[in-house]
Chain A
């Protein structure tokens, strides 16, 4: 995809992010942060990508291969841990009303 399209998407997403986040009240800032933290683990897509692509060409050697597996491991902790911990906190907010 051409660079300019990607930059356009970036700019729009940043604006959208600002609009969305300014509406979140202070009460929910911690779960927001752990949830968005989990979203930043989207690199998991890239980690899966490089691992699968590696497998077809496998002429790169073992070190990058291990690094890619570590990346996938890290990203999974980030994603799974982030969503689970947010959910735990948000259940507490439901509590008594």
Chain B
């Protein structure tokens, strides 16, 4: 038998199979761009992953050398155990998670991806050291190993902290942790990690340096995310998503594997775009989000809440709101994460259905950062089977507020704060939903307390704004009842 030809044939088959799986990923993501084709897109992605997974066994499990074909599957039970346990935990947590808990679920999955990348790169490096003399290791592979270790570690620990914050775990403070000189500490740590990387390149024979880099990355990830407030979580999750892709791509360079590089860079690009969209939605730069520490301290500038609100708040009752709705022709709901927390989505849907039945035009205005991750609010409303063509984004809903009779703001605050138009405001320039342009604006809220940005909202004091104080769910249920009784 011609073993060389057999070896070459295997290389070609393996390469083609990896290419096919990469094509599945690309076509899958393309299909994710429309709600109709999106479930198929996700399936295509999963199919691509399955092909890549099976190909890995062909690639690494069958060895063709001069005169021998060897199949290694000796310790198969370890592979089966790791995969079986991972699959069970993955399915179990994916099926159990509530839609409100989606951001932390995605965060922790991300963290596992980053952790896997850093471990693969590290073990491969050690493996290379055993079989090759250190001086023969290629520099690009070592550089990729350093990057994989650093990015993977930041992704891993950063994601765990993000998970803790979003889940409300007691051991991790929800508010941004800031201290004097925290920026300097982060920068020093980053420089230290990169210096360790250079040391590793100069002394490639010592595996220890790699784990020092990983340790520095882990501390860096913790410090980066622990300093970030709840309002900025959508940015952080997107960024960690991007990092997990970059870590996989770096690991691809370590192993010289194209499917890792392609899939990793697709995800890296995806996370980066979502990060930029989120930053734009808050009119903040990425540097500002990462090193800013906004969203905890109260604003010093601007009018105080007391003088802004004094004597200007119009309180209303659900009965009165129902009467206003009676004569409305167009109603827009503006939900925020508070709606989901109050479990008020169901009565919101009921009211929207009742209004539509009465011939009222109903829409939902969704701010990009209405939830806690990109597109989160859409998922929360989709869970209530509110049709997605009723969910309008910032650019499509804003021009319609002038022709809108009633806007119902529920659980949202900063994203409808007109101070964003004021250049002296801390949230100046942030794109907002122009709800104050509607005929009447009803705000359902427990109290006049400020949102994440910590500043008062002049919307509440406007003449055409009615404040309906109370629990979101209870108020909405009352409203549904009153409206139906009319």
**A40 pairs with B42, CB closer than 8 A:** no
Among listed B185-193, B252-260, B307-315, B399-407, interface-contacting one: B252-260
Closest CB-CB distance, A69 to chain B, in whole Å? 5
> B156's closest neighbor in chain A, by CB?
A74
Q: Which of B32, B33, B238, B255 has the most CB of A within 10 A?
A: B32
B245 at the interface (CB under 8 A from A): yes
Contacts A42-B260, A95-B385 given: A69-B113 contact, CB under 8 Å? no
Q: Is the CB of A55 within 8 A of B74?
A: yes
B483 on the A face (CB < 8 A)? no
Residue pair A49, B255 in contact (C-beta under 8 Å): yes
Provide the residues of chain B in CB contact with A76, threshold 8 Å: 82-83, 85-87, 90
Contact digits for A6-46, partner B, Cβ 8 Å, 1 yes 0 no = 10011001101110111111111111111111111111111
Measured between beta carbons, the chain A residues less than 8 angstroms from B126 are 60, 64
Cα separation A79 to B90 with both chains bound (whole Å): 8
A33 near B43 (CB under 8 angstroms)? no
CB pair B375 A80 closer than 8 Å: no
Q: Assess whether A1 is in contact with B258, with CB atoms less than 8 Å apart.
A: yes
Contact digits for B28-65, partner A, Cβ 8 Å, 1 yes 0 no: 11101111001101110110110011011101110100
Contact B57 A37 (CB under 8 A): no
**B116 touching A44 by the CB < 8 A rule?**
yes
Q: Which of A52-75 contact B (CB under 8 A)?
A: 52-57, 59-60, 64-65, 67-75
Interface string of B111-127 (1 = CB under 8 A from A): 01101110111111011
Complex: A33 Cα to B256 Cα, angstroms: 26
The interface-forming segment of B91-99, B424-432, B470-478 is B91-99
Taking a contact as CB atoms under 8 Å apart, the answer to whether A81 and B93 are in contact is yes
Question: Cβ of A88: which chain B residues have Cβ within 8 Å of it?
Answer: 94-95
Q: Which residues of chain A are near B391, meaning CB under 8 Å?
A: 27
Summed over the interface, the residue pairs from A and B with CB atoms below 8 Å come to a total of 379
Residue contact B140 to A3, C-beta cutoff 8 Å? yes
Kindly state whether residue B344 has any CB partner on chain A within 8 Å. no
Partner of A48, one of B38, B60, B95, B244: B60
B42 contacts which chain A residues (CB < 8 A)? 31, 35, 83, 86-87, 90
Out of A23, A56, A86, A89, name the residue touching B72 (CB < 8 Å).
A56
Bound: A1/B261 CA distance, A:
13
Most chain B beta carbons < 10 A, residue from A32, A46, A70, A93: A46
Partner of B45 from A39, A68, A77, A85 at Cβ < 8 Å: A39
Taken together as a complex, chains A and B put the C-alpha atoms of A28 and B245 apart, in Å, by 19
How far is A18 from B73 in the complex, measured between Cα atoms in Å? 39
Chain A residues near B56: list those with CB within 8 A: 44-45, 48-49, 52
Q: Which of A24, A34, A57, A87 contacts B106 (CB 8 A)?
A: A34
User: Which A residue sits closest to B85, measured CB to CB?
Assistant: A73
Taken together as a complex, chains A and B put the C-alpha atoms of A58 and B243 apart, in Å, by: 32
B91's partner among A6, A9, A81 (CB-CB below 8 A) is A81
In the bound assembly, the distance between CA atoms of A94 and B379 in angstroms comes to: 11
B110 touches A37 (CB 8 A): yes
Given contacts A13-B261, A93-B382, A83 and B241 within 8 Å (CB-CB): no
Q: Chain B 402-435, CB within 8 Å of chain A: the 1/0 string? A: 0000000000000000000000000000000000
Q: Which residues of B contact A70 (CB under 8 A)?
A: 82, 115, 119
Cα separation A60 to B131 with both chains bound (whole Å): 9
- Is B440 part of the contact surface with A, judged by Cβ < 8 Å? no
Chain A residues near B264 (CB-CB < 8 A): 40, 42
B72 touches A83 (CB 8 A): no
Query: Does A42 lie within 8 Å of B74, measured CB to CB?
Result: no
Contact for A26 among B32, B265, B366, B382, CB less than 8 A: B366
Whether a CB of chain A sits under 8 angstroms from the CB of B248 is yes
Q: List, in ascending order, chain B residues with CB within 8 A of A36's CB.
A: 29, 241, 245, 266-267, 270-271
B333 interface contact, C-beta 8 A: no
> What residues of B have a CB within 8 angstroms of the CB of A68 in the complex?
119-120, 123
Which single member of B93, B116, B368, B371 contacts A41 (CB below 8 Å)?
A: B116
The distance in angstroms between the C-alpha atoms of A54 and B61, with both chains bound, is 10
State how many angstroms separate the Cβ of A54 from the closest Cβ of chain B. 7
Measured in the bound complex, the distance between the Cα atoms of B195 and A71 in whole Å is 26
Q: Which of B60, B110, B366 contacts A40 (CB 8 A)?
A: B110
Q: A26-B374, A33-B374, A80-B91 are in contact. Are A56 and B63 (CB under 8 A)?
A: yes
List 12 A-B residue pairs with CB atoms under 8 Å apart, sorted by A's residue number: A17-B29, A28-B33, A29-B374, A32-B270, A34-B109, A39-B245, A44-B56, A45-B52, A57-B131, A64-B127, A82-B106, A83-B45
Interface residues of A (CB under 8 A from B): 1, 3, 6, 9-10, 13-14, 16-18, 20-57, 59-60, 64-65, 67-97
Known: A33-B270, A47-B82. 18 other contacts (CB 8 A): A6-B252, A10-B253, A24-B29, A26-B375, A29-B375, A30-B378, A31-B38, A36-B245, A37-B267, A39-B25, A52-B79, A73-B85, A74-B113, A74-B119, A82-B94, A83-B49, A85-B109, A88-B94
7 closest pairs, A vs B, by CB?
A76-B86, A17-B269, A29-B375, A81-B90, A80-B90, A71-B119, A29-B374
